[in-house]
Amino acid sequence: MADKVKLYAAGGSPFVCRVQIALNMKEIKYEKLEEDLHNKSADLLNYNPIHKKVPVLVHNGNPISESLVIIEYIDDVWKGVPILPQDPYEKAVARFWGKFIDDKCIIALFKVFGSHGDEQVIAEACEQLQILENELKVKGTKFFGGDNINLVDIAAGFIAYWLGMLEEATEIKFVTKDKFPKITEWADNFVNCRVVKEVLPPREYPPKEYLLALFKEQFGKE
């Protein structure tokens, strides 16, 4: 029986895009179901009753939630281009960075826009970004994954693409080439990867203001 893969998505979500990159890397065909996050479908609520969020991947009827968990599932089920390292220690290190990006970095970045650019909040976000900047410097590789992208690069995709759009929409610019040369170079390489470029949402859809409102609603501290 052929695999039946469905992805519950929402226009422009960086978390959905993570999963799309992973599916693209493995060349998996899937059906994308677009959700209205202000009027979620019964299916989404049924498949992700705890968080009620996209992305949700449904593989042969089995739902999986949380983008980084979904990516690990994809990597386990479909062979081909690996997304996580095979070595158990390297794999644990990649998971560590993925978790750091979600728990520390992205939260700190969202707070900047929620706080309308409070200087202290910007300083805290820069502190987290500096950790990633140093990691890239120490590794000395093109990507966090080495010569090719891996889970860590995919997790950090928000920094490569969406962050700039939010800076533009809010006119709060704090990630510069001077301050973060390695991150800037990495971001450029990341968005130009074929598997990434093919699935990134267009810069004008959904409008930046929509994304900003969505992120503020969820993570912003007014």
DSSP codes joined into one string, 34-78: E--TTS--HHHHHH-TTT--S-EEEETTEEEESHHHHHHHHHHH-
Q: What's the DSSP call for residue 143?
A: B
> For residue 204, which of 28, 62, 11 has the smallest C-alpha distance?
11
d(CA 92, CA 98): 10
Is 10 near ligand GSH (CB under 6 A)? yes
Burial profile 48-60: b = 16 or more Cβ within 10 angstroms, e = fewer: beeeebbbbbbbe
Name the residue with tokens 């590794």.
Answer: 139
Is 52 near ligand GSH (CB under 6 A)? yes
Is 162 near ligand GSH (CB under 6 A)? no
Beta bridge partners of 62: 59
Q: Which stretch binds ligand GSH (CB under 6 A): 8-16, 26-34, 133-141, 175-183?
A: 8-16
Is 165 near ligand GSH (CB under 6 A)? no
Is 46 near ligand GSH (CB under 6 A)? no
Binding ligand GSH (rule: CB under 6 A), the pick from 67, 115, 128, 150 is: 67
Binding ligand GSH (rule: CB under 6 A), the pick from 11, 20, 25, 53 is: 53
Q: What's the DSSP call for residue 200?
A: S
Amino acid at 159: I
Q: Which of residues 121-140 bind ligand GSH (CB under 6 A)?
A: none
Is 17 near ligand GSH (CB under 6 A)? no
Binding ligand GSH (rule: CB under 6 A), the pick from 28, 33, 37, 199 is: 37
* Rounded least distance, CB 212 to ligand GSH, Å: 12
Q: Which residue's CB atom is positioned nearest to ligand GSH?
A: 53
Is 218 near ligand GSH (CB under 6 A)? yes
Where on the chain is the footprint of ligand GSH (CB under 6 A)?
Answer: 10, 13, 15, 37, 52-55, 66-68, 218
